[in-house]
Amino acid sequence: MIKFLPKFAAKCCVVSQTGQFQIFDVTDYTQRYIQNVQLPPSGASITSFDVSSTGQALAFGDDHNYIYLYGACSEVDFNMGSKPTEFADPIEPVRAVPITDIYTPISEISPFPYWAISDKLLSDMSPDICRKTYRPTPAIDPEILRTLRMVGSIGYAPNHGKRLHVRSTVATESAHNSKRNSPEANEMPHRYYFLEPNYDKMDKDEYDFLRYNHSPFAGLDSTLPNSYSNNMIQSLYFIRPLRTGIIGHVCKKEY
């Protein structure tokens, strides 16, 4: 195992499985520092090795789940907020497009940088040979000019309703009703219609809810207009963590 020391660009540490590690300069092999890790006599071997970001501590791990820490001094400084260096994203090479390719869109071909072109681009024209063109003014309808009435410097003409020539794509009311009243139309089944219980004719206990509710859950109906609390309570009941937390705060003496 080999790792470079953070504070030295040319120094690295080589560790063997027997516990011997050497710190030497890659530019000068004559200067070496050799040290052995004090391993237990049970025949353990080094399996992992790392250097702190401050370069003051070396950590070794063996196959007996022990960690050996060596420091450059008695009080070693550690970087508690150490993070890896963030590098810029690599630039992907541009795919080569042959000159005979007729299927690749022009938008996918990256233009050359200006420093790589000795001459000017074809679109780089001088202003003296260019002319700005604007949207031409639409011609006035001859019928408007014929019925134009001038009052001072202002002209007035009646609107004949010929300005909007776009046909409406919205279906007519008759066609919409014919589709809905057609027996072949996909209408909502009667069992899914909204039903409001009528408590005026009978008592609430006598109302047959089982006729409309075939599920094992109790139905909470909202008889008041714009009242959504009952339905919301029923939907929140099936959220298990919320239901457990609310039931845990209910007083057992009263409920």
The Cα angle at residue 125 between residues 120 and 126, in degrees rounded to 5: 115
Is the pTM higher than 0.85? The answer reads: no
The domain tally of the chain equals 2
In this structure, is residue 6 part of a structural domain?
yes
In this structure, is residue 11 part of a structural domain?
yes
Residues with Cβ < 8 Å from 15, sequence gap 6 or more? 1, 2, 21, 46, 49, 60
How confident is the prediction along the chain (255 residues), in pLDDT tens digits per residue?
887 777 777 788 888 888 777 777 777 777 666 767 667 666 788 888 888 877 788 888 888 888 888 887 878 887 777 777 788 888 888 778 888 888 887 767 656 565 666 777 777 788 888 888 888 888 888 888 899 999 988 989 888 766 555 555 555 556 555 555 555 556 777 777 777 767 666 666 666 777 777 776 666 666 666 666 777 777 788 888 888 888 888 877 776
Q: Looking at 47, 71, 95, which one is the last position of a domain?
A: 71
In this structure, is residue 96 part of a structural domain?
no
Domain of residue 224: give its range: 209-248
Q: Looking at 71, 87, 102, which one is the last position of a domain?
A: 71
In this structure, is residue 149 part of a structural domain?
no
170 to each of 26, 166, 174, 188, 221, how far by Cα in Å?
81, 12, 12, 23, 37
Instruction: Quote the tokens at residue 135.
Output: 């949207």
Q: Looking at 35, 53, 71, which one is the last position of a domain?
A: 71
